[in-house]
Amino acid sequence: MSRPETVTLVEVGPRDGLQNEPHPIPAATKIALVERLADAGLGVVETTSFVSARWVPQMGDATEVLTGIRRRPGVRYPVLTPNLKGLERAIEAGADEVAVFAAASETFSQRNTNASIEESFERFAPLIQRAQEDGVAVRGYVSCALGCPYEGAVPPQRVAEVAERLRRMGCFEISLGDTIGCGTPLEARRMVARVAERVPPEHLALHFHDTRGQALANLFACLDTGVTTIDTAVGGLGGCPYAPGAAGNVATEDVLYMLDGMGIDTGVDRAAVVAAAHWIAGELGQQPRSRVAAAESTCSA
């Protein structure tokens, strides 16, 4: 299979990126980040997460953020909803696309959601049914697709089984997550190929963290598998509170630099993303974590 001519980037920085930041971030800052990314040409910007503020305090302002954004025509603004209560809050706030997350590791599922893999699916069933009744699209995540911080290696077959089940339950797309950034290119390619035997590649996405500096190489290795959607985070934001040592998501601007150099179209303005990376890093009191943002030090506000 040849490499794609176009790739869709799903920007997860405002949600997956900011949820693990240690200090409070004003809702106005989150809203401004979402709008900057949409203005840069990103067609999908994961905006927030309707989770318990007790467990994820950084997402306690989900309703304020989702209702406060200026929606750009043609841009999707999905939100994470781990349970039915979260879905109901999201629908009340105007969500028309949500995401649920399962794990390919039993231990990680227990640590992350206080539920087994099977119990997680039992929770998803009424959520997905309600979403479908309300015309809300549902995306699925599979965590630990290339390894678990507690169990080590995760068999690709198990990843495929979880992904297929999410697809059969009604998820229009399944994002395969290297949650701890432990995968290498051949491992990533083998995993995606195995999952693609059960779920058509056009319904898959890649979500790779860059803990060991392998994310770009892993993505490159998977570009000819038929998967044309990649999750990224501006400035390399991110981490995971339930995966000790996990670094941020692969940086949007780093992926753009690679794809631009390969002649693969994304419709995204890299300079605008770099500017957004510098802006949000300044708001957080840090430097952007990506190589491209450091090299292309455009700090226009």
Q: What is the pLDDT of residues 148-195, one digit of tens each?
A: 999 999 999 999 999 999 999 999 999 999 999 999 999 999 999 999
DSSP state of 83: S
Q: Where are the domains of the chain?
A: 8-295
**Average pLDDT, stretch 82-106?**
97
Whether the Cβ atoms of residue 245 and residue 211 lie closer than 8 Å to each other = yes
The three-state secondary structure class of 48 is strand
C-alpha 223/C-alpha 187 separation (Å) is 14
Q: What is the pLDDT of residue 239?
A: 67
Which listed residue (144, 148, 182, 240) is catalytic?
Answer: 240
Q: Are 102 and 120 a contacting pair, CB within 8 Å? A: yes
**Exposure string for 292-301, b = 16+ CB within 10 A, e = fewer:** bbeebeeeee
252-272 pLDDT, tens per residue?
Answer: 999 999 999 999 999 999 999
Q: Where are the alpha helices (DSSP H) in the chain?
A: 27-39, 62-68, 84-92, 106-113, 117-133, 156-169, 185-196, 215-222, 252-261, 270-284, 291-295
Angle between helices 215-222 and 185-196 (to 10 degrees): 40
pLDDT at res. 114: 87
Residues 116 and 87: beta-carbon distance below 8 Å: no
| Among candidate residues 101, 64, 99, 103, the one with its CA nearest the CA of residue 78 | 99
Q: Which CATH architecture has domain 8-295?
A: Alpha-Beta Barrel (3.20)
Residue range 81-90: average pLDDT? Answer: 96
Q: DSSP letters of 163-224?
A: HHHHHHHT-SEEEEEETTS---HHHHHHHHHHHHTTS-GGGEEEEEB-TTS-HHHHHHHHTT
Which pTM value belongs to this model?
0.95
**Over residues 211-226, mean pLDDT:** 97
Cα 301 from Cα 298, distance rounded (Å): 9
Residue pair 174/142 in contact (Cβ under 8 Å)? The answer is yes
Q: Is 144 among the catalytic positions? A: no
Q: Are 294 and 287 in contact (CB under 8 A)?
A: yes
Q: Which of 68-77, 142-151, 289-298 has the least mean pLDDT?
A: 289-298
Indicate the range of 28-37, 139-148, 230-239 predicted with least confidence. Answer: 230-239
Q: Which two tokens stand for residue 118?
A: 């099977």
